[in-house]
Every structure is written in C-alpha cells, then in structure tokens.
Amino acid sequence: MTQESMILEDEYVALKPMQPSHIKDLYRAGKDLAIWQWTTANYCQTLDITKQWVESCIEKARLNLQQPCVIVDKTQNEIVGSTSYLNISVEHKSIEIGFTFLNPNAQRSFVNRRCKLLLLTHAFETLKLNRVAFQTHEKNQRSRTAILGIGATFEGIHRDCRIQ
C-alpha cells in the first residue's frame, strides 16, 4: 500500500495524504479540548505538538505502518480533522481505521459517515481486505454510537491494551 497516491473523495469530502503543509490547518481543526477527552494524547495542544505529530505520522506512513489522511469538508474547502489506516496487516488482509478526530463543527454531520464509507469501500473493494476494525475508548459513547451507526459489530472491550 502506498500512501502518497491515495486520495479518496466524493462530492462532499476528500481524504488526502497528510503533509507538512497541513500542520496549521490540523492545529486549527483540533484546538477544541473536548475532541481529546477520550484519547491518550492531544495532538493539537500546541502548534509545535501538532508539527511533531504530523512528522511522526508521515514517518509511520513511510514505513507502511500507518496511512494518515486529512479530512477536507469540500462544502467549506476546509480541513476539519484527520483519520488513518493503521495496524496494517497485508498478510492477514486486515486493517484498522482510527486516530480519527473531527472539529466539533463537523461532528454529527455528513463528514464522518462519508469518510468511513470511502475508507471502507477502498479497503474492501480496492485493497481486497477481509477485515476492517475500529477502536474507541469504552466511555466514548458518541464515537461508539457512530461506529455502530455505520453497521459495525461490537466485538468487545480491550483491557489494559495501552499504557497511558
């Protein structure tokens, strides 16, 4: 899988490979502290932290460990968040969609469902994968509801899977 050429879009949203030129827009999209309530880190706490995070994502993309994308709301021509393919296992034909954040103005709108549809369609129809997984914090009810809302099946809660 090569991240550089992966642009997924429909008439309303676009998922584009994360680039250093997106740092300021991602920082602006992620400034609301409520976004980061259920995450292990706030990647948009400061502009410098956002820069370090973007550089780390790009390095992981180079190593084919992650495919980070910015989320563009085409109706406003604005970056409203980020999402990634991660836990890429070509051998097992599986992938995870995660590290997603959306500016509160884009939450509960068409943006997340359209992005997930683009990512799922690409994973199953283009990459020919067998499994796509999602993870969220067990207390993040909004995210859990959104995941179930796109037809995902709840499989369980991972306990102590991350050191915080």
pLDDT tops 80 at residue 102: yes
- Local confidence band at 157 (pLDDT 50, 70, 90 cut-offs): low
Residue 70 phi, psi dihedral angles, 5° rounding: -90, 150
Three-state secondary structure call for residue 91: coil
Coil, helix or strand at residue 19: coil
Please say whether the beta carbons of 65 and 86 come within 8 A: yes
Residue spans of the domains in the chain: they are 8-149
Closest by CA to 99, choosing from 160, 48, 162, is: 162
Asked whether the predicted pLDDT for residue 45 surpasses 80, the reply is: yes
Residue 141's pLDDT band, with cuts at 50, 70 and 90, is confident
Tens digits of residue pLDDT in 4-43: 568 999 999 999 999 999 999 999 999 999 999 888 889 9
The topology under which CATH files domain 8-149 is Aminopeptidase (3.40.630)
Token representation of residue 2: 């090569």
Spatial separation of the C-alpha atoms in residues 114 and 127, rounded to whole Å? 18
